[in-house]
Amino acid sequence: MAATTAPPSCEIARLPEDLLAASIARTTPRDACRAAAVSPAFRDAADSDAVWARFLPRDLPPLADGELSPAPPSKKALFMRLTDSPVLLADGLMSTWLDRETGAKCYMLSARALCIIWGDTPQYWRWIPLTDSSFFCDRFSEGAELRVVCWLEIRGKIHCKMLSQNSTYTTYMVFKISDESYGLDSPLQEAAVIIGENKFTRQVCLQGHENEGEDEEEVPQNYRSLMVPDIRRRLRRRNCRIPPGVIVPKKRADGWMEIEMGEFKNEEGEDGEVSISLMETIGGNWKKGLILQGIEIRAKK
């Protein structure tokens, strides 16, 4: 009987670990995780600090004390920690995390880090804690609540050098709407993202309700005067048609809403700042009930 020959081992697995690691480090975090499942030799190389040091940004901004306590035991563990949840920067006004697929640096500018016109005037805006069940936020301790304004203008900015080079980003406003809100569905707002000579603008609707009330019966006109104000406001929003192309909010897993404001490309060696804004200053209509957590800058998917 002929002896059974053992299957040949994978030739590439015979390479020295440092050469395997150097090759894997030229891929992506996702590819490195896949390589770790190939064989024990691949796993040792793919999980090495030499690989994950290439995926970690070299210029991560200073973090607040205790944000990475206890210290992750390896470069891979540090990368995973920075992709699991945001960490506060030293000033407490911004948070950062890494995109798990690309390693790109992402940020959130808190409401305190933004320029809100009339934001320091209690008659128009007030600062509220974000620690209770209604407005819980695990990143920042306070947010801004719009009491009443007819001039809505919110601006944020971030230096290009804080972002990852050759990366495309999408910006989002993160917010909630109070039960007593009005004036946020019409007129429409304008969102803008500016980097260098490039400016991206679009119309958005903070209180867009594309599907609200589709299955509800129409209320006869002669009964509407008998409704309480809150029901009348919801009826007006239901009957307000959103024009095609206008961006409306989406609900997030954390219970907040987000609305896409625009995108931009951070080129290699880009200098200057990225400016992000949301405005409605033309209509003169009074507005109330926006609860602002901040603006997120995320790697585009």
**pLDDT tens per residue across span 189-247:** 999 999 998 999 999 999 975 444 444 445 455 544 444 455 445 545 555 678 889 99
- Specify the range with the lowest mean pLDDT, choosing from 45-59, 102-116, 134-148: 134-148
Q: Yes or no: say if 270 and 216 are a contact pair by the CB < 8 Å rule.
A: no
- Per-residue confidence (pLDDT) for residue 21, from 0 to 100: 87
Percent of the chain with pLDDT over 70: 82
Lookup result for tokens 């997120």: 296
- Per-residue confidence (pLDDT) for residue 234, from 0 to 100: 52
- Specify the range with the lowest mean pLDDT, choosing from 86-95, 103-112, 263-272: 263-272
Task: Give how far Cα 190 sits from Cα of 5, 79, 119, 154, 281, Å.
Answer: 71, 36, 19, 11, 9
Q: Is the pLDDT of residue 11 over 70?
A: no
- Per-residue confidence (pLDDT) for residue 2, from 0 to 100: 52
Token pair recorded at residue 188: 């429409």
Mean pLDDT of the chain: 86
CB within 8 A of 239, min separation 6: which ones? none
Question: Average pLDDT for residues 74-99, to the nearest whole number?
Answer: 96
| Higher per-residue pLDDT: 12 or 95 | 95
Residues in a beta bridge with 143: 128
pLDDT tens digit string along 115-161? 999 999 999 999 999 976 566 677 899 999 999 999 999 999 999 99
Single pTM value for the model:
0.84
CB within 8 A of 250, min separation 6: which ones? 257, 258, 259
CA distance 196 to 4: 68
- Per-residue confidence (pLDDT) for residue 73, from 0 to 100: 96
